[in-house]
Structure 1
Amino acid sequence: MSKEKNIVVGCDIGGAHLKIARAEDGRIVEALTLATPIWLGLDRLIDAARAARRLFAGSRLNVFTMTGELSDIFPSREAGIASLLSIVTEHFPGKSLIYAGRSGFVAPDKATALAADVASANWHASAAFVAKHAGDTLFVDMGSTTTDLLVTQGGRVVHDGYTDAERLATGELVYTGFTRSALIGIASAAPVKGAMSPLMNEYFASIADVHRILSVLDENDDKQPAADGQAKTVAGSIARLARMVGRDASDLTPPEWRELARWFSEQQLRTVHDAAFRVAGRLAGDSAAPVVGAGIGRWQIRRLAARMERPFVDFADLIAASDDARSEASSAAPAAALALLAQDMD
């Protein structure tokens, strides 16, 4: 008689995306990211849970982390956690546990009382997995909206902040990501034809447009509509970028727009680089400690590692996974980490 598979599903409920990773016998076999803009209604998350139901087939345990409680659909983080826990209980099949970071895994009915630990703890799950499997590192996860930077040392996660407010202050959380960040949040002025042009204080374009123009964006990773709701093409992205500097696409040549896009991506990298130097201070003198990169922004993190003169290790190379699932699992690192961390739990 064949042994029954040990199936655990990890889920990261964000404000913009639901990330899911299915592990069978300690190996990620499928990972998936679905657009769930819950600021438009919680039905977006419920619909995604239904669409992904097949990933939960046969699972003995589902484990959840979340950042969606920050969505402005909720009056507070605690209210957001309570609402998301209700959806987990009602709309996700099977037994569930909630990841409460420093408090470990807890039952859903205990999680509300640990709201301060549950809130936005997805970074802790990924970093805990890296600490266990990669030793001393600078772990950097750039998603669609934010970038997490943590040191792992001596088999544990070393951090100065825990809450979002604390981590923003320490540089361990930088509010910039590979697709959703508005360009007005990257800079207030940009070089156009040799002069610094102030930017329009409007959401005319996102960093996804920049990375599309530079041909480094996987279109699968840009799951939200463009700022103007128009085509997500290079021409469309150039038109949106042009509006940011009060121009039309025809005002500059394609190479000139590409140079402007390169400048914006560089500005984003500089912001992350500054935070990385602060956070990596604990690794001073250990030049062999690598940068471990996760998330859809791994292209940017590779550049960061080169600037810091440190080796780069993809989170995908630390996990047991099928070839088809490996890259997507790295993009959904918190979900994959949870599924693997919980493999031996009862």
Structure 2
Amino acid sequence: MEKRKSIVAGFDIGGAHLKVTRAQDGRILEAVTVATPLWLGLHTLTSAFEETAPIYAGADLNAFTMTGELADIFPSRDAGVAALLDEISSRFPGENLIYAGPSGFVGAEQAARLSADVASANWHATASLVAKLAGDALFVDMGSTTTDIIAIKNGAVANDGYTDAGRLLSGELVYTGFTRTFLFGVASSAPVRGRLTPLMNEYFASIADAHRILGVLDEKDDRHASADGKEKTIDGSIARLARMIGRDAADLTLPEWREVARWFSEQQLRKMHDAASLVAGPMARDVPIVGAGTGRWQIRRLAERMERRFVDFAEIIPADDAVRGEASSVAPASAVALLAGSQL
């Protein structure tokens, strides 16, 4: 009898992106992210599934995790989980597994009864994979919107909180990301020519603009429209940043705008550092930080600040070299594909 090929597709259904991976024999071969503004309606998810079909076509097994139940088109998290499970069941009639945190992988029917475990469990999936790959670690995954900070002890996830509410309290969830975060979400003022200037409390710019000005943003990681809907260039980002402090782009020099941009990135890093200090408190000094996600540049800086060795998730995940970076950027999708595949 011919041995069954272990091709597993992994999905992370978020409120802003759909992330999909394809794994075979325990190795990530393909990985992709598609902008999916779920707050506009479930049709955006349908379109994203259609766009990513070449990645999951012919898979023996589909494994899912989600955070999209938070989208405000749903009246509650439970309703969101139920709606996304319905979408999964209707589009994928074959064998599907849903990640339910401490309950492990379950079928769609059981997942509907475990919505509290299924909701926003993608961080737990990635942390569980890191526990297998790296042993003790402070795992930090910074995506476009949020940052997860999780202790890994004795090869197991050692989380304090589990729900979003619990993890916000424990410091394990910091609602700041590398691209989509509003600038007034990390600071209320910025230094301009020696004066601390209060910010305009408007969505004139995002942290992606600051990181673009600093030259540390990979443009493929910024998949949503800019705050003003205009060009994603350094000049465009400076114009947006200028509005935050009541100015025009010509009011300051390029080096001065870089200093303003650096301030916002620094304020974001300080929020991460505060939270990471709470989570890492009881951990030994030689325990490294394992960093995943599109914000690994920022996580490297966090490791330097905390005087801990940095380990890039992209370097330890079993993946083809050509897709290591993207496999890390879509870490939860990679994790569910690999974890589910290990059960075949």
Query: TM-score per shorter chain, which class?
Result: over 0.9
Deviation at 1:93, TM superposition (A): 5.7
Aligned counterpart, 2:45 = 45
3-state SS in 2 of match to 1:59: coil
1:312 is aligned to 2:297: no
Residue identity matched to 2:149: L
CA contact (8 A) 2:5 2:60 kept: no
Amino acid at match of 2:183: L
The 5-angstrom pairing of residues 190-205 of structure 1 reads 190-205=190-205
Equivalent residues of 2:216, 2:297 under 8 A apart: yes
Q: Does 1:178 align with 2:201?
A: no
Residue aligning to 2:301 = 303
Aligned to 2:33: 33
Report the number of matched residues.
344
- Asked whether 1:82 is paired with 2:82, we answer yes
* Correspondence 1:156-235 to 2 at 5 A: 156-235=156-235
Distance 1:76 1:342 in 2: 28
The answer as to whether partners of 1:151 and 1:279 remain within 8 angstroms in 2 is yes
Deviation for aligned residue 1:42? 0.8
CA distance in 1, matches of 2:93, 2:243: 46
Q: TM-score, normalised by structure 2?
A: 0.98
For residues 12-70 of structure 1, give each alpha carbon's deviation from its aligned partner in whole angstroms, at most 9, with x where no partner exists.
Answer: 00000001111011110000000000101111110110111111122111010000000
1:256 is matched with: 256
2:341 to 322, 334, 343: 343
Aligned residues of 1:12 and 1:65 also touching (Cα < 8 A):
yes
Q: What secondary structure, in the 3-state scheme, does the structure 1 residue paired with 2:282 have?
A: helix
CA distance in 1, matches of 2:36, 2:51: 11
CA–CA distance in structure 2, aligned partners of residues 246 and 310 of structure 1? 39
Distance 1:298 1:43 in 2: 31
- C-alpha contact (below 8 Å) 2:38/2:44 kept by paired residues: yes
SS at match of 1:21: strand
Residue 12 (structure 2) pairs with residue 12 (structure 1): yes
Contact 1:49 1:92 in 2 (8 A): no
Moved more, 138-147 or 86-95: 86-95
CA distance in 2, matches of 1:250, 1:94: 58
CA contact under 8 A between 1:329 and 1:336: conserved in structure 2? yes
2:325 matched to which residue of 1? Answer: 327
Could you tell me how far apart the structure 1 residues matched to 2:129 and 2:316 are?
Answer: 9
Deviation at 1:344, TM superposition (A): 2.9
Question: What is the letter of the counterpart of residue 266 of structure 1?
Answer: E
Q: Which runs of 5+ in 1 are unaligned?
A: none
Tell me if structure 2 keeps the 8 A contact 1:16–1:38: yes
Q: Name the Cα RMSD after superposition.
A: 1.1
Query: How far apart are 1:113 and its partner, in Å?
Result: 1.1
Alignment of 1:94-133 (within 5 A): 94-133=94-133
Contact 2:171 2:276 in 1 (8 A): yes
Whether the aligned pair in 2 keeps the contact of 1:19 and 1:33 (CA below 8 Å) is: yes
Q: Which runs of 5+ in 2 are unaligned?
A: none
- What's the CA shift for 1:92? 3.5
Whole-angstrom CA distance in 2 between matches of 1:196 and 1:168 = 29
2:63 maps to: 63
Query: Partner of 1:274 in structure 2?
Result: 274
User: What is the Cα deviation at residue 82 of structure 1?
Assistant: 0.7
Contact 2:129 2:335 in 1 (8 A): yes
TM-aligned CA distance change 1:97 to 1:2, over 3 Å: closer
Percent of residue pairs identical: 66
Q: CA deviation at 1:325?
A: 1.1
Shift of 1:281: 1.0
Check the 8 A contact 2:137/2:151 in 1, yes or no.
Answer: yes
Cα drift, residue 4 of structure 1 = 4.6
Read off the aligned partner of 2:144 and give its amino acid letter: S
> How far has the Cα of 1:345 moved from its partner?
2.1
Are 1:246 and 2:260 matched, yes or no? no
Letter of the 2:295 partner, please give it: G
Contact 2:171 2:275 in 1 (8 A): yes
Over 3 Å counting, the alpha-carbon distance change for 1:211 and 1:177 in structure 2 is: same
Structure 1 CA distance for aligned equivalents of residues 93 and 265 of structure 2: 41
